[in-house]
Amino acid sequence: MNQLDALKQFTTVVADTGDFKQLSAFQPQDATTNPSLILKAVQKPDYAPLLAETVAIHRGQPLDVVMDHLLVRFGCEILKTIPGRVSTEVDARLSFDTAATLARARRLMALYEAQGIGRERVLIKIASTWEGIQAAAELQREGIRCNLTLLFAFCQAVACGQAGVQLISPFVGRIYDWYKKAAGPNWVEADNAGANDPGVQSVRAIFNHYKKHGIATEVMGASFRNIGQITALAGCDLLTISPELLAQLAATEAPLGRALDADAARAMDLPAITYDEASFRLALNEDAMATEKLAEGIRAFCADAVKLEVLMQQA
C-alpha cells in the first residue's frame, strides 16, 4: 500500500488546488482553494477560457461581484470531481471587517445555491483574525459552514473552537518556515523534522486540546513543505495537500501509521482555555511567529486578489 492510501485510513485527504483537472488522479474527499491558487490556475491555457467566459457573462458588474462568480465557477467545477466539500475564500482585503466578511460570505453561498449546490458541500474560508472569527460565529448560526484559515497561533484555534466554526486550517509549512529562518545557521533539519517539526507540534497541540475538551471543530493541517510533515500528522481529522505532495505520497511505499490519536488526547491532563477579545489580541501579539505570518499571509492574498482583478479587466 502506498502512503497516500495508507493515510486515507486515518485521515480525510483534501486536495489543495484550483486546478480541478488534476483532482481525479488522487481521489480526494474534499478540495480547498485560495486567491493564490485561483490566480495560478487562470494563468494556465486550460483555464483561460473559463476566466474569459465568466468575465463576458458578468461584464459591467463590479469587480468584486465578477470575482465571486469566478470563484464559485471554479468551486462548482471542483465539486463535479470530488464527493465532499469545496472551500472558497472571502476576499482577504475584508479580513478586519466583520460586517463586510458576513456580506461577502452570504453572497458566495447564495451564488452556490443558485447553481443547485447545497450548503453542506461548501465551506467559506475566512482569515483567523478576531473580526473573521466573529463573522464565522454568526455564519455558523445561519447554517453557513466556515473554514478558518491563516491560523498560526494556539489562541486562534481556541477562539475558533469557542465560535463553533466547522473547520480550521493551521498552516504547518509556514510555521516551519518562520522557525527555520529565525534560527538561521543554527537550524539543524534532522532535529526539527517529523514529530519535532514546529508546525507539526502546533497542529498536535490544537488537535489534542479539541479532542480533550470535546470541541467539534475539525482540524485540517495545511501548507505542507514535505511529506514528512504530512505523515507526522496521520490521524488528524483532515489534511489538505498540494497535488505535488499527493503524487509523492502515492509514489512512496514506506509504512505509515497513526500519529495523532483522539482517544489518547481525551486521556491527557490539559486545562480548559477561553479567550475574550482583549486576551485573544494580547496572546496573538505575544506570539511573534503568528503575528508575522498572519500579517504576511493576508498581504499575500490581498496582492493576489488585485492581480486577479487585473486579469479580469484584461479578459
Of 264, 226, 256, 262, whose CA–CA distance to 9 is shortest? 256
In the block, residue with C-alpha cell 474569459: 52
Q: Which residues pair with 238 in a beta bridge?
A: 12, 220
Domain limits, the chain: 3-314
**Of 44, 80, 125, 212, which residue is the catalytic one?**
125
Cα–Cα dist 179/184, whole Å: 9
Q: Is 180 a known active-site residue?
A: no
Cα–Cα dist 182/206, whole Å: 23
Cα–Cα dist 78/169, whole Å: 19
Architecture of the domain delimited by 3-314: Alpha-Beta Barrel (3.20)
Cell of 226: 514535505
Residues 6+ apart with CB under 8 A from 204: 195, 233, 260
Would you tell me the crossing angle of helices 130-141 and 277-286 to the nearest 10 degrees? Answer: 130
- The pLDDT value given to residue 315: 87
pLDDT tens track for 220-266: 999 999 999 999 999 999 999 999 999 999 999 999 999 999 999 99
End-to-end CA distance of the chain: 45
Cα–Cα dist 3/252, whole Å: 6
pLDDT per residue, tens digit, the chain (315 aa), is 999 999 999 999 999 999 988 888 899 999 999 888 899 999 999 999 999 999 999 999 999 999 999 999 999 999 999 999 999 999 999 999 999 999 999 999 999 999 999 999 999 999 999 999 999 999 999 999 999 999 999 999 999 999 999 999 999 999 999 999 999 999 999 999 999 999 999 999 999 999 999 999 999 999 999 999 999 999 999 999 999 999 999 999 999 999 999 999 999 999 999 999 999 999 999 999 999 999 999 999 999 999 999 999 998
